[in-house]
Amino acid sequence: MTTADHKPQIFAFLARYFGEHRLAEDEDMFATGFVNSLFVMQLVLFVEGEFDITVEDEDLEIRNFNTVRAVDALVTRKLAVGAADRRP
Amino acid sequence: MAIRVQLSPRQAEAREEYESFAREAVAPSANGWDRAERLPEEFLKDFADRGYLASAVPPEYGGAGLDAITFGLLNEELGRGCSSVRSLVTVHGMACQAVARWGTASQRADWLPKLASGEAIGAFALTEPGAGSDVKALATTARRVGDGFRLDGAKRWITFGRRADVYLLFARLDGLETAFLVPRDAPGLEVRPITGVLGTRASMLAELDLADCRVAGDALLARPGFGLSAVAAGALELGRYSVAWGCVGLSQACLDASLDHADRRETFGVRLRDHQLVQRMIADMATGTAAARLLCQQAGWLRQARSTESLYATWLAKYHSSVTAFRSASDAVQVHGAHGCGGDYPVQRYLRDAKVMEIIEGSTELQQTTIAESAYHARPRATAPTSPTGEVTA
């Protein structure tokens, strides 16, 4: 199981949306007022492309996407499941 | 953003097939379909048999699983022949995309083979009398009753709503924006045709009344709360991409018609094509169409790469293509003069259809505000402010 910290990549992606705002890793992104209606789509595309995972219907929960820490945890879980599936 | 312009041999071959189909089986009938305000069943059957309704369905469910560029080329050529036919590919594709992306294994197995074969036609039912561009004003409600749901509300301007067998429909479940797959025969659903619209008249618009409309538990698509931000947003993304390419075809059709007419028609002893003010209109059509096509190709390559930049690129493409289509259509009518206002030439239809393109899948004004906002996001942070003369001031 991978325990790598994916937060630096996530913060780097989010920087363009939050400008000078110093986003904390447990801060609710959707409550900040910095993101628009395209943001969820862009975030899903980002995590799928950056970490080579697929966001499924059952992953679509606000608690999986609302903070950097939550996105990091989702990525870690998905990568662990993928690694387990690939294990002989 | 990287730009590629060269089609692969397979894409070029597909484009030729679509161009030939649109020229022979679509364009000659388009004015008649526009007047009749419907597409005939025999055409729909032929269209489905050729696999064009399968374009957004993955191959494992009987679909064509077209790559983004090839899907765009299909939309361009259909848009060149008839925007209503292109609209069918748009809304049907949006339903297919949503089921393929967010459906359960059971929903995918149930719906996708039927959507791919044309046994079922899909439509996108988001707009309401009080909720158009402002989708957050969504007022249709859903409530759990037993194992299923009851829906109440009204939908309006639903493209191919008259003909669809299943609606990708949005409602509030416990206040949360939620997507449902509502079959045409759901008890409590009434479908009423809308006629006399300005453009894309053969796209068989309808309004839907949902009065205690009963659907089964497996009608729920994706998680409650993600109906707009994930399901509708993803479907509309495909819709914008489809419309953008369709507008390239529409602009190309305006250019084709204007070149023909200006070559044949004489005024003041010379051909129209020799008048410099006509040349200005033709030059703008040619340039605008080529630029729109490049923007669509850029969006296509980025979609194929699953880049986060594909969303922004698609907004640019749709904005530019739709504005270009309307200006091209207006100029094409001008080039045709009185002939352009009559029903014998297609350019008056192009003009009416092009105006619709500036409203659907994100109005021009929504595109402008979203693009401006995104342009700020894309701006490099380290850039120092500059003076009006370009000198760095800080």
Taking an 8 Å cut-off on Cβ atoms, the answer to whether A46 and B308 are in contact is yes
Report whether pLDDT(B192) > 90: yes
pLDDT tens, position by position, B214-241:
999 999 999 998 899 899 999 999 999 9
Residue B245 and residue B251: Cα distance in Å, rounded? 10
CB atoms A62 and B308 under 8 Å:
no
Beta-carbon separation of B311 and A61 below 8 A: no
Which residues of A have a CB under 8 Å from any CB of B?
13, 15-17, 19, 36-38, 40-42, 44-46, 48-49, 57-58, 60-62
Cβ distance B229 to A41 less than 8 Å, yes or no, reads yes
Task: With beta carbons less than 8 A apart as the criterion, state whether B244 and B292 touch.
Answer: yes
**Of residues B28, B19, B30, the one with CA closest to residue B77:** B19
Is B361 labeled as catalytic in the residue annotation? yes
Give ipTM to 2 decimals: 0.80
Percent helix / strand / coil, chain B, rounded to 5: 60, 15, 25
Which residue does chain A place closest to B315, by CA atoms? A38
Q: Of the listed B128, B177, B237, B361, which one is catalytic?
A: B361
Local confidence band at A88 (pLDDT 50, 70, 90 cut-offs) = low
Asked if CATH classification 1.10.1520.10 holds for the domain at B9-121, the reply, yes or no, is: no
Q: Phi, psi at residue A30, to the nearest 5°?
A: -75, -15
Q: Which CATH number fits domain A7-86: 1.10.1200.10, 3.90.1260.10, 2.60.40.10, 3.30.420.10?
A: 1.10.1200.10
What mean pLDDT do residues B75-81 have?
98
When pLDDT is averaged across residues B111-137 and rounded to a whole number, the result is: 93
* Residue that has been written with the tokens 């986003």 in this structure: A23
* Domain residue spans of chain A: 7-86
What is the SS3 assignment for B205? Answer: coil
Look at residue B4 in the predicted model and tell me its pLDDT: 61
Q: Are B173 and B142 in contact (CB under 8 A)?
A: yes
In one-letter notation, the amino acid at residue A44 is V
**A42 to chain B: closest CA residue:** B308
Lowest mean pLDDT among B23-37, B123-137, B245-259, B284-298: B123-137
Please identify, in words, the CATH class of the domain defined by B123-224: mainly beta
> B2-46 pLDDT, tens per residue?
556 789 999 999 999 999 999 999 999 999 999 999 999 999 999
Pair B325, B333: CB distance under 8 Å: no
B 9-48 → A contacts, CB under 8 A: none
Cβ–Cβ under 8 Å, residues B126 and B180 = no
pTM for the predicted model, two decimal places: 0.92
SS (H, E, C) A27-61: CCHHHCCCCCCCHHHHHHHHHHHHHCCCCCHHHCC
Nearest CA in chain B to A59: B223
Q: For strands B148-158 and B176-183, give the pairing.
A: unpaired
Tell me the domain boundaries of chain B.
9-121, 123-224, 228-377
Rounded alpha-carbon distances, angstroms, from residue B259 to B16, B279, B288, B332, B344: 21, 10, 15, 9, 17
Residue with tokens 């292109």: B86
B260-309 per-position pLDDT tens digit: 999 999 999 999 999 999 999 999 999 999 999 999 999 999 999 988 88
Test the B interface: residue of A29, A35, A42 with most B CBs within 10 Å: A42
Give yes or no for residue A48 having a pLDDT over 60: yes
pLDDT of A3 > 70? The answer is no
Kindly state the tokens that stand for B284.
Answer: 């703008």
User: Counting Cβ atoms within 10 Å, is residue B212 exposed (0-12), middle (13-18) or buried (19+)?
Assistant: exposed
Q: What pLDDT is recorded for position A1?
A: 45
Candidates B177, B223, B308, B314: best to mutate against A (most CBs of A within 10 A) is B308
Check residue A25 and report its DSSP letter: T
Contact across the interface for B306 and A19, Cβ inside 8 Å: no
Structure token pair of residue B100? 């393929």
Contact B155/B140 with Cβ under 8 angstroms? Answer: yes
| Structure tokens that stand for B177 in this block | 């924006």
The per-residue pLDDT of chain B, averaged, comes to 94
Closest residue, chain B, to A37 (C-alpha): B229
- pLDDT confidence bin for A39, thresholds 50/70/90: confident
Q: For the structural domain made of B228-377, what CATH number should be given? A: 1.20.140.10
